[in-house]
Amino acid sequence: MKTPRSFYQPLAIGAPAPFRELPVSLERMIHFVPPHVEKMRAKVPDLISKVDVVLGNLEDAIPANAKEDARKGFIQMAAENDFGQTGLWTRVNCLNSPWFLDDILEIVPAVGHKLDVIMLPKVEGPWDIHYLDQLLAQLEAKAGLSRPIMIHAILETAEGVKNVEDIAAASPRMHGMSLGPADLAASRGMKTTRVGGGHPDYAVLSDAVEGSGRTAFQQDLWHYTVAKMVDACLSYGLKPFYGPFGDFSDPEACESQFRNAFLMGCLGAWSLHPNQIDLAKKVFSPDPDEVAFAKKILDAMPDGTGAVMIDGKMQDDATWKQAKVIVDLARLVATKDPDLAKVYAL
Ligand code: GLV
Ligand code: MG
- 75, 111 contact by CB (below 8 A): yes
Average pLDDT over residues 31-52: 98
Picking from 263, 284, 305, the residue at the C-terminal end of a domain is: 284
Chain segment 57-75, per-residue pLDDT in tens = 999 999 999 999 999 999 9
Polymer length in residues for the chain: 346
Is residue 152's pLDDT more than 80?
yes
In this structure, the answer to whether residues 220 and 329 fall within a common structural domain is no
In this structure, the answer to whether residues 67 and 112 fall within a common structural domain is yes
Question: Nearest C-alpha to atom 2 of ligand 1 is from which residue?
Answer: 180
Please, is 309 exposed, middle or buried when counting C-beta atoms within 10 Å of its C-beta (0-12, 13-18, 19+)?
exposed
**DSSP label at 101?**
H
In this structure, the answer to whether residues 224 and 266 fall within a common structural domain is yes
In this structure, the answer to whether residues 126 and 57 fall within a common structural domain is yes
Is residue 273's pLDDT more than 90?
yes
Contacts of 60 by beta carbon, 8 Å cutoff, 6+ apart = 121, 183
Output the CA 48–ligand 1 centroid distance in Å: 24
Which atom in ligand 1 lies closest to the alpha carbon of residue 184? 4
Bridge-based pairing state of the strands 216-218 and 203-205: antiparallel
Residues 192 and 222: their CA atoms lie apart, in Å, by 12
Question: Nearest C-alpha to atom 3 of ligand 1 is from which residue?
Answer: 180
In this structure, the answer to whether residues 251 and 169 fall within a common structural domain is yes
Is residue 1's pLDDT more than 80?
no
Model confidence at 88, in pLDDT bands (50, 70, 90)?
very high
Show the domain range for 212. 4-284
In this structure, the answer to whether residues 169 and 295 fall within a common structural domain is no
Q: How far apart are the first and last CA of the chain?
A: 43
- 174, 238 contact by CB (below 8 A): yes
Number of domains in the chain: 2
Binding-site residue positions for substrate: 91, 156
Angle between helices 223-235 and 251-264 (to 10 degrees): 40
Picking from 284, 300, 330, the residue at the C-terminal end of a domain is: 284
Q: Residue 243: CB within 6 Å of ligand 1?
A: yes
For position 195, what pLDDT does the model report?
Answer: 95
Question: Against a cut of 0.85, is the pTM above it?
Answer: yes
Is residue 2's pLDDT more than 90?
no
Q: What is the CATH number of the domain that holds 274?
A: 3.20.20.60
Chain segment 192-241, per-residue pLDDT in tens = 999 999 999 999 999 999 999 999 999 999 999 999 999 999 999 999 99
Average pLDDT over residues 314-340: 94
Mean pLDDT of the chain: 97
Average pLDDT over residues 304-314: 94
Helices (H), the chain: 4-7, 38-41, 44-50, 67-80, 100-111, 126-143, 158-162, 164-168, 181-188, 223-235, 251-264, 274-284, 288-300, 317-336, 338-344
Ligand 1 pocket: which of 89, 154, 194, 222 to mutate (most atoms <8 Å of CB)? 154
Q: Helices (H), strands (E): how many in the chain?
A: 15, 12
Picking from 268, 284, 300, the residue at the C-terminal end of a domain is: 284
In this structure, the answer to whether residues 69 and 158 fall within a common structural domain is yes
The ligand minimizing its distance to the Cα of 272 is 1
Q: Which three-class secondary structure state does DSSP give residue 66?
A: helix
Question: Nearest C-alpha to atom 1 of ligand 1 is from which residue?
Answer: 180
In this structure, the answer to whether residues 299 and 230 fall within a common structural domain is no
- 248, 273 contact by CB (below 8 A): yes
Is residue 169's pLDDT more than 80?
yes
The pocket of ion ligand 2, defined by CB under 5 A, consists of: 156, 180, 183
Is residue 185's pLDDT more than 90?
yes
In this structure, the answer to whether residues 178 and 302 fall within a common structural domain is no
The ligand minimizing its distance to the Cα of 244 is 1
In this structure, the answer to whether residues 158 and 108 fall within a common structural domain is yes
For position 146, what pLDDT does the model report?
Answer: 98
Output the CA 48–ligand 2 centroid distance in Å: 24
In this structure, the answer to whether residues 297 and 264 fall within a common structural domain is no
Output the CA 253–ligand 1 centroid distance in Å: 17
In this structure, the answer to whether residues 35 and 105 fall within a common structural domain is yes
For position 300, what pLDDT does the model report?
Answer: 95
Average pLDDT over residues 82-94: 98
